[in-house]
A = this chain, B = another copy of it.
Amino acid sequence: MNNSVEILIIDDEPQIRKLLNITLQSNDYKLKEASTAQDGLVMAASHPPDLILLDLGLPDESGHEVLKKLREWYSKPVIILSVQSREEDIVKALDNGANDYLVKPFRTGELLARIRSLLRSASSDAENPVVTVGEIEIDLSLRTVKKNKEQVKLTVTEYNLLALLVKNEGKVLTHQFLLRSIWGPSYIDQSQYLRVFVAQLRKKIEDDLNKPLHIITESGIGYRFV
């Protein structure tokens, strides 16, 4: 999920880092920690994170200075976390390139929402869950199917059947289960429907109809997608 999203926190208070560690990790973010300005800058540069949480009150250098140095090359979101609530500090931080400023103690739900908001606008093009099996490519969010990079046109029922099989890749799905899922509970004896639609699907995605490589018949039981 967010597991590929990396967040770096630069803060000298261990209890804040602990809190965020728990909060962010349980929301599937990957967290890296630095307790000094020095460390933070090195970590950010060596492996740039997707977002930085920056404390203003660091022991070795002012957070404002860290922000300025970061902004010389780092263009992703930076959120300031600070005990300082003076307008002067907030304005200065925002004008130095911070994207947001939260006063400690902050509410974790709000922080998470602000992180989501910034990550959303940072990468407005979220990646799609694409299932690729050999030359077949199924994009479940776009509802498209490609074979050898070319779009395959499927009807609603054909797509539903394929999607169900793909989502349970490798598993044998019984006739009853497939019929119930796609046509409804009153259709569980209409195995012929299934045969007709499996045949149509194969015609569209298999290369050799006599040796289907993806939609496998499990005689007497059901079908399986490989």
Q: Write 22 A-B pairs (CB below 8 A) sorted by A numbering.
A: A87-B109, A90-B113, A91-B112, A91-B113, A94-B110, A94-B114, A94-B116, A95-B117, A97-B117, A99-B117, A99-B121, A121-B121, A141-B171, A142-B170, A142-B171, A142-B172, A143-B172, A143-B218, A143-B221, A144-B170, A144-B172, A155-B219
* Chain A stretch 84-99: residues in CB contact (< 8 A) with chain B: 87, 90-91, 94-95, 97-99
Please give the distance in Å from A201's CB to the nearest CB on chain B. 16
On chain B, the residues within 8 Å of A149 by CB distance are none
Complex Cα gap A187–B112 (Å):
35
Contact between chains at A87 and B100 (CB < 8 Å): no
The B-contacting residues of A in range 105-124, CB under 8 angstroms, are 107, 109-110, 112-114, 116-117, 120-121, 124
- Return the chain B residue nearest A143 by Cβ: B172
Most buried by B among A97, A109, A113, A219: A113
Please name all residues of chain B whose beta carbon is closer than 8 Å to the beta carbon of A75 when the two chains form the complex: 124
Residue of B nearest to A173 (CB): B143
Number of A interface residues, CB 8 Å? Answer: 34
Copies per complex of this chain? 2
Q: How far apart are A3's CB and chain B's nearest CB, in angstroms? A: 20
| A71 vs chain B, min Cβ distance (A) | 11
Per-residue CB contact flags for chain A residues 125-158 toward chain B (1 = under 8 Å, else 0) read 0000000000000000111100000000001100
